[in-house]
Amino acid sequence: MQDRNKRFVERDRNWHPPAYAPGYKTSVARSPRQALVSMQHATASELTGPAFRGLRMGPHDNDLLLNFRQDQGQGLPVGERIIMFGRVVDQFGKPVPHTLVEMWQANAGGRYRHRNDNYLAPLDPNFGGVGRCLTDEAGWYRFRTIKPGPYPWPNDVNSWRPSHIHVSVMGPAISTRLITQMYFEGDPLIPLCPIVNTLKDPDAVETMIGRLDMARSRPMDCLAYRFDLVVRGELQTYFENQ
């Protein structure tokens, strides 16, 4: 495995799903109808910054159990407490330090705190569903949160999204921002999801699955799931915007 990381492999464009995937209904409206325009000359803002090394984080920015209390009380969110952690590395296993990792998710009932989410599950007054942190010198990031619930969506008569957490990682410029989702190991809804099924390569799906890590779990408190992000190369994580 180490040797595979030592060489650069050009991205296989066939690894990614087509823009038009009728099984995933919303891709029909989102897929382009005309040839894409090639940007021959990138602007300075597309090639540089922002630099996050000096970004000041709040004390609970990466702790979703504590960073939102709508009623300003002392309550905690409802649901299974988990730790989500991992490393951001490049194709050679070299860490990507001081980069911004953001995440957002539904609550334990499967509902997002968003005005367009009309799912009948209740909102949790103690859970906002968003967090952020900077990777350390070795590329590690960490969040404490609640395991999100699955939820139905109107793709067909009975489509359900598996439990998942959206993850964004910033590169050296705004144009290099990458977005993916972390699913949970062993979830039976993963192979049934129309979005997941747009990926024809099982290895691509595997890159989006967080693995249970009992060594990092906290006894009598929370389980831990490790989700590494490989930003380039043969073993890269599948990102939605590539």
The Cα–Cα gap between 222 and 173 comes to 35
Give the 3-state secondary structure percentages of the chain, helix then strand then coil, rounded to 5: 10, 25, 65
Q: What is the DSSP letter of 196?
A: G
Burial class (CB in 10 A: 0-12, 13-18, 19+), 121: middle
What does the DSSP assignment read for 131-161?
EEEE--TT-EEEEEEEPPPPEEETTSTTEEE
The CATH homologous superfamily for domain 7-235 is: Aromatic compound dioxygenase (2.60.130.10)
What does the DSSP assignment read for 17-40?
PPS--TTSTHHHHHS-SSPPPP--
Domain definitions of the chain by residue range: 7-235
Residue pointed to by tokens 């590395």: 89
The Cα–Cα gap between 73 and 143 comes to 22
151 catalytic per annotation? yes
Per-residue pLDDT of the chain (242 residues; tens, 9 = 90+): 444 445 556 666 677 778 888 888 888 888 888 887 776 777 776 667 777 878 888 999 999 999 997 666 678 999 999 999 999 998 888 999 999 999 999 999 999 999 999 999 999 999 999 999 999 999 999 999 999 999 999 998 999 999 999 999 987 777 778 999 999 999 999 999 999 999 988 999 999 999 999 999 999 999 999 999 998 766 778 787 65
Catalytic residue among 24, 112, 225, 238: 112
Catalytic residue among 87, 111, 144, 166: 166
226 catalytic per annotation? no
112 catalytic per annotation? yes
This prediction's pTM:
0.86
